[in-house]
Amino acid sequence: MQLGDTLAQEALIAGSKTAATTDARGAIRLAVTLPDGAVQHFERPPDGSCADWRAADLEAPGSGFAFDEPVTEQWGHALTIVAHNSLT
């Protein structure tokens, strides 16, 4: 399993809260709050598909990481569903 999928799996299984936003171009940014208070972000470009998600920044209390890791279509499909539910 690649890193982006691992981050998506952990966020989707352990996450307690989600928030999604779109920018003026239509890009989606999904934030998933983890049990320790960290927030894992995922991004999908405008007109992107389930195969276009990327694991992005991880904001943690007192630290953080910048990721730019692809997420496969399987996990991207789950992220799309969560983002859609968060936006509606």
- What is the reported pTM? 0.94
Q: pLDDT at residue 62 above 90? A: no
For tokens 């934030």, the residue is: 31
* 24 pLDDT tier (thresholds 50, 70, 90): very high
Give yes or no for a contact between 42 and 29, defined as CB atoms under 8 angstroms apart.
yes
- Locate 30 and state its tokens: 């999904």
The mean pLDDT value for 43-51 works out to 96
* 88 pLDDT tier (thresholds 50, 70, 90): confident
Q: pLDDT at residue 1 above 80? A: no
Res 63: pLDDT: 87
